[in-house]
Structure 1
Amino acid sequence: MRSVYTSLFYASLPWVLARLLWRSRANPAYRYRIAERFGFYSGPPKPVDIWIHAVSVGEAEAAFSLIAALRRHARASILVTTTTPTGSARVRKVLGDTVEHVFLPYDLPDGVGRFLGHFSPRAAVIMETEIWPNLFTACRKRGIPLLIANARLSDRSARRYAWIRDTLRRLLAGVDIAAQTEADARRFVTIGADPATVTVTGNLKFDTEPDASVTAVGAALRRSLFQERPVWLAASTHRGEEKAVLEAFARLRSRHPELLLVIAPRHPERFEEVARLAVEAGHRVARQTQAGGSVAGTFDVFLLDTLGDLMRFYVASDIAFVGGSLVDIGGHNVVEPALAETAIVFGPFTRNFQQICDDLERKGAAVRVRDTGELAAAVDRLVADEGRRGDMVRQALAFVRRNRGAAERHWRLLARHLGDSFQAH
């Protein structure tokens, strides 16, 4: 099975490269550092103690909590790899030169071999659900212990994996799996993981703590840019959601003429597209990249067209719709708006954070909507009822704090493989 997979991957390389170049038309970062995607790195080999792979921004945010725990307990050199340029930019912004950082190569034997030979990690951590046949096989052959951290597996993914269960059983043999929930743990077992290697550790994203400077900047944004206007943030939106959000916003304007909508598209290559949508809908649009000083009152839609600033805009907002949930993407991180003390709304598609979203909804700490009409109605009620917003914020924040501790549990799993050679702080 692995040989067939590898042959098909090699055959698809022209399409893979063409797709990179196509995406680079909207986001030029995709055309840079292509050699790294094939395992070619500059300079001499750089052996590291721990390698952590976070495919993009969401996984990187979870990895930051784990890295903080590692630094509390051990002195270790760390390599962080990503797949997307946005993930790379986030790692560099948050961690700077305190870690090594490169793109992970494509899952081809030669590139994987060059990567592992260059960095020679003593332990490997893959964030969430990235199961790469050649990479996992190479780690096992080199004796590199492997942990799938913050592991999650939806019902849909489990059903898709079921037909290759025997292959997965071999790939996952000896791999530690730190599952977010009991349901995730059961699903990993159903696709072939050894129950003895699966541990429920909770979600690393609960262990995130906003930096004080981010909170301060968010509060300053509110005062200088948005002033006394009620602010609704549509965060991490995908194609199809902005149109629904703009339609809901149009319905709300008659009842709440001072309401301000902030849109933060998930992918930077869509910034221009979303700006056009808002202008075509008849709105006065301001952009983060163009906002100089206070422009309050001169716009009704604000486009967040920069990376790494979402948390401070959560802090500056009253209500947050978390995107990827009105269209079938699976939803995005709802812990961040909870920590920012912002009332949370999300759509029906939340499989990526299913347990958290279900729990928040059940506790009255978030509102789930099914369509544009329900979205408009939910935001309408929350804008009008400050007391309700406050209750939701308190419930959500308490829920997050009750569920912390995943980073320490992950550290204990990883420490079993690192031995006593790491000096504790």
Structure 2
Amino acid sequence: MNFFYLLLYNLGIRIYAAGISIASLWNSKAKRWINGRKGIIDKMKQQFNENESYTWFHCASTGEFEQGRPLIEAYHKRWPDHKILLTFFSPSGFELRKNYAGADCVYYLPIDTASNASQFIGLIKPRLAIFVKYEFWYHFLKELQQQQIPALLISATFRKEQLFFKWYGSPWRNVLHRFQHLFLQDTGSLQLLHSIGVQHATVSGDTRFDRVWQIAQQPEALNIIEDFKGTGKLFVAGSTWPEDERLLSTQLQDRANSWKWVVVPHEISRHHLEELRNKFREQSVFYSSATKEELAHKPILIVDAVGLLSSIYRYADMAYIGGGFGKGIHNILEAAVFGIPVLFGPNYHKFNEAKDLLTLGAAASVYNGTTLTEYFLQFSTQPPSFASVNRNYVNQQKGATEKIMHYLAEIN
């Protein structure tokens, strides 16, 4: 990266951090982002032993952690004496997994500056660094390469709209060469990388398939959900945002007598939970405070707890996955693995699994109340054999973790 681009990058990083700092005055998530990084290098100096080396896994947030988790656990099983450091960029990922038993240490990733990267890498002395999906931090990758520490990117996807493939994208293409190897989800990404001269990449698939398959084999029993569903049909709306909830609200209230409905919002702040309760009023009850009588008679259950969604899907007869009216849909595989039809909003084009399931006819994209009703009625009347379509798809796609582990065995 030449001086001009590096100057812009460093300026952009500092402006971003300053913006988050300002937002932290009123935004709780931004405040956690800032507070979690205060004095982080000094805290690490107190914990890390200069004679120890770590294998470093980095995830942006919760979704990427679930994507990387099968590899973390397979790595630990294969090399139990190797210490594991897990870092997050987002507060939501860190807060949920800061006590994750599969890692020896869990930290926020410091802001990507040359000084932070040098101190961070010097402290942890990683034998190996593994980044999940969309993490291209210039200074950290540069420091790893200079220290001759292998850096891998797993479950990555690339699109022609990204900076790497623009006429002015040369500095960003150079960042890709700082990885020793890139493991991709699909052949389209491989072809794009080949078009810009990146050859150190292979198609291994998406490790999320391995993770959701693991969950489906040993799903957690949730008595509250069992009691709520009873003998009826259950619709689960997972990782919803306000735009999703506005779309779903009419459907939920109109069909409250024939189906039971579980709503699992992506954000469970007190303000948002109160908004949901006001929207559904006397028809709804919160997961954390529901009585046996309420579970039996209320048609809508609002889940005000984290970490339950992947297990809740096992009880569903149909699911809606949120995010499709914003930046992009959340994890549809967590629902699909249980053999149920899935619905989601229109912003799904970055996700190969969504396009695949649409082609198979086991999913549908909705963009208003009319299409939601149309596909809800269509999927409600599908024969039992239809349930195997999504489950078989997930089963056929798993195996990425094993492929990556073969590579790690060669370099470790």
Length-normalised TM-score, structure 1: 0.86
Question: Structure 2 stretches of 5 or more lacking a match?
Answer: none
Partner of residue 230 from structure 1, selected from 221, 228, 233 = 233
Is 1:180 aligned to residue 185 of structure 2?
yes
- Number of the residue aligned with 1:273: 272
Amino acid at match of 1:69: A
Alpha-carbon shift at residue 164 of structure 1 (Å): 4.2
Matches within 5 A, 1:116-195: 116-156=121-161, 158=162, 162-175=166-179, 176-190=181-195, 192=196, 194-195=197-198
Alpha-carbon shift at residue 152 of structure 1 (Å): 1.4
Alpha-carbon shift at residue 96 of structure 1 (Å): 2.0
The Cα offsets for residues 87-145 of structure 1, whole Å up to 9 and x where unpaired, read as 1234345x326432111111111222221122111111110011111111111111111
Aligned-pair RMSD on alpha carbons? 2.6
Contact 1:78 1:100 in 2 (8 A): yes
Q: Determine the C-alpha separation between the residues in 2 that align with 1:292 and 1:34.
A: 40
Q: 1:64 to 1:261 in 2, by over 3 A?
A: same
Is 1:57 aligned to residue 54 of structure 2?
no
The secondary structure found in structure 1 opposite 2:46 is coil
Contact 1:251 1:376 in 2 (8 A): no
Contact 2:234 2:316 in 1 (8 A): yes
Partner of residue 346 from structure 1, selected from 333, 344, 347 = 344
The total of aligned residue pairs comes to 403
Q: 1:323 to 1:168 in 2, by over 3 A?
A: same
- Number of the residue aligned with 2:365: 368
- Number of the residue aligned with 2:73: 68
Q: 1:38 to 1:9 in 2, by over 3 A?
A: farther
Q: 1:42 to 1:230 in 2, by over 3 A?
A: farther
Q: 1:294 to 1:224 in 2, by over 3 A?
A: farther
- Number of the residue aligned with 1:380: 377
Q: Determine the C-alpha separation between the residues in 2 that align with 1:21 and 1:82.
A: 22
Contact 2:273 2:304 in 1 (8 A): no
Q: Determine the C-alpha separation between the residues in 2 that align with 1:392 and 1:300.
A: 26
Q: Determine the C-alpha separation between the residues in 2 that align with 1:392 and 1:99.
A: 43
- Number of the residue aligned with 2:114: 109
- Number of the residue aligned with 1:398: 392
Q: 1:106 to 1:21 in 2, by over 3 A?
A: farther
Alpha-carbon shift at residue 341 of structure 1 (Å): 3.4
State which drifts further: 129-138 or 372-381.
372-381
Is 1:202 aligned to residue 196 of structure 2?
no
- Number of the residue aligned with 1:335: 333
The secondary structure found in structure 1 opposite 2:149 is coil
The secondary structure found in structure 2 opposite 1:102 is strand
Amino acid at match of 2:228: L
- Number of the residue aligned with 2:101: 96
- Number of the residue aligned with 1:284: 283
Q: Determine the C-alpha separation between the residues in 2 that align with 1:238 and 1:315.
A: 22
Amino acid at match of 1:139: L
Q: Determine the C-alpha separation between the residues in 2 that align with 1:165 and 1:366.
A: 36
Alpha-carbon shift at residue 407 of structure 1 (Å): 0.2
- Number of the residue aligned with 2:21: 17
Q: Determine the C-alpha separation between the residues in 1 that align with 2:39 and 2:284.
A: 38
State which drifts further: 162-171 or 204-213.
204-213
Q: Determine the C-alpha separation between the residues in 2 that align with 1:168 and 1:59.
A: 22
Alpha-carbon shift at residue 222 of structure 1 (Å): 3.8
Query: What is the aligned-residue identity percentage?
Result: 20
Q: Determine the C-alpha separation between the residues in 2 that align with 1:288 and 1:188.
A: 46
Contact 1:311 1:340 in 2 (8 A): no
- Number of the residue aligned with 1:422: none
The Cα offsets for residues 374-399 of structure 1, whole Å up to 9 and x where unpaired, read as 1122223333x2x43x3342111111
Q: Determine the C-alpha separation between the residues in 2 that align with 1:299 and 1:272.
A: 22
Q: Determine the C-alpha separation between the residues in 1 that align with 2:39 and 2:158.
A: 28
The Cα offsets for residues 191-213 of structure 1, whole Å up to 9 and x where unpaired, read as x4x43211111010111134479
Indicate the structure whose relative CO is greater, using CA pairs within 8 Å and at least 6 residues apart: 1
The secondary structure found in structure 2 opposite 1:260 is strand
Q: Determine the C-alpha separation between the residues in 2 that align with 1:250 and 1:185.
A: 46
Q: Determine the C-alpha separation between the residues in 1 that align with 2:309 and 2:183.
A: 28
